[in-house]
Amino acid sequence: MDRYAVIGNPIAHSKSPWIHAAFARQTGQALAYEALLGPLDGFTATVHAFRAAGGRGMNVTVPFKLEAYALADRHTPRAEAAGAVNTLVFERSGILGDNTDGAGLVRDLSANLGCTLAGRRILLLGAGGATRGVLLPLLGSRPAALTIANRTVGKARTLAERFTVHAAGTGLDACGFAELAGRRFDLVINATAASLAGELPPLPPGLYAEGALAYDMMYGHGDTRFMQAARADGAAHVADGLGMLVEQAAESFALWRGIRPDSAPVLAALRRQLDAG
């Protein structure tokens, strides 16, 4: 039986083993998928040991995505753009590094939430690894404008400059949170870690255009604080990142097995599980 795993630290909370087991049952694929706690000073050794024991691939979560990028022998274009890897494919010739986060986000927005991205005004909050991982696929969806806002403005501007080459037809800019005052967006994506601590980015009021969607990459039982604040500020729709989690996993599964699972029933079952506490 082919072996796969997700590696991170911490890792006990990971939903990935459950998701991939569901995908395997649905598609009739014979595989085992486990969660590995990676030592903070032993990521590379753990990956090599898993591969040597017959592992076929791995998902990578915090804090190892940059180390995974360095470990890979070659990268997909989206991993190259992100500068981070969340999926490793063990090939005979070496290790392929991919990043499925952005594809997962775009698919969740478009297929699951019915959100049209082409021609829309998008605001992306944060300028860290989560933002880097989704910028290329978001720009590929051809929005009219994409703004990166961050507490440290210089970091946001550096990121915007790095991705300008991919922004043909899209107005790509960067600013601080206060500079958002008076601007309105069709889609606001929270890629900061603020929701993990129950906090909010310091956003001015009035960001949401008519019919706008507020999307938090984090998820939990019920609405995140960002989703609650967005609804109070006029967002017509709110969503968390559970769909992104399932869709990026489906992308990894397809990369490994050559078959794309139907993510909808898996997402629905995981949502019921999460809501049940």
Per-residue pLDDT, 247: 98
Residue 129 annotated in ligand binding: yes
Percent helix / strand / coil, the chain, rounded to 5: 40, 25, 35
54 and 122 housed in the same domain: no
CB of 29 within 8 A of CB of 23? yes
**Pair (107, 235) in one structural domain:** yes
Question: Any binding-site annotation on 224?
Answer: no
The answer to whether residues 89 and 170 belong to one domain is no
- Domain count along the chain: 2
119 lies in the same domain as 233: yes
Tokens of 30: 């014979």
Contacts of 229-238 spanning 24+ positions with Cβ under 8 A: 229/200, 229/203, 230/188, 233/203, 233/205, 233/206, 233/207, 233/208, 234/206, 234/207, 234/208, 235/188, 235/208, 236/208, 236/210, 236/211, 236/212, 237/113, 237/211, 237/212, 237/213, 238/213, 238/214
pLDDT of residue 252: 98
Q: Are residues 108 and 65 in the same domain?
A: no
- For residue 7, list its beta bridge partners: 36, 60
What is d(CA 97, CA 158) in angstroms, rounded to the nearest whole number?
A: 24
pTM given for the model: 0.96
Same domain, 92 and 138: no
- Whether residues 84 and 156 fall in one domain: no
Question: Active-site positions?
Answer: 65
159 lies in the same domain as 66: no
Is there a single domain that holds both residue 248 and residue 228?
no
The residue assigned the tokens 């959100």 is 115
Give per-residue pLDDT as tens, 172-213.
999 999 999 999 999 999 999 887 788 899 999 999 999 999
Give the chain's largest Cα–Cα span: 57
Which residues does residue 113 pair with via DSSP β-bridges, in sequence order?
none
Looking at residue 197, its pLDDT comes to 80
- Check whether 217 is labelled as a binding-site residue: yes
Write down the pLDDT at residue 198: 82
Confirm or deny that 16 is annotated as ligand binding.
yes
| pLDDT on residue 45 | 98
Domain range spanning residue 70? 2-99+243-275
Distances (CA, A) of 270 to 2, 12, 244: 24, 16, 12
Separation of alpha carbons 205 and 226, rounded Å: 13
Residue 276: what pLDDT?
85
User: What pLDDT shows up at residue 221?
Assistant: 85
**Residues in the chain with pLDDT values less than 70:** none
Which stretch of DSSP H or E encloses residue 35? strand 31-37
Measured CA to CA, the distance from residue 35 to residue 16 in angstroms comes to 8
Same-domain check for residues 67 and 171: no
Question: In CATH, what number is assigned to the domain containing residue 51?
Answer: 3.40.50.10860
**Do 259 and 188 fall into the same domain?**
no
Contact (CB, 8 A) for 176 and 150: yes
CATH number of the domain enclosing 111: 3.40.50.720
Instruction: Reduce the DSSP state of residue 239 to 3 states and report it.
Output: strand
Residues 42 and 77 grouped into a single domain = yes
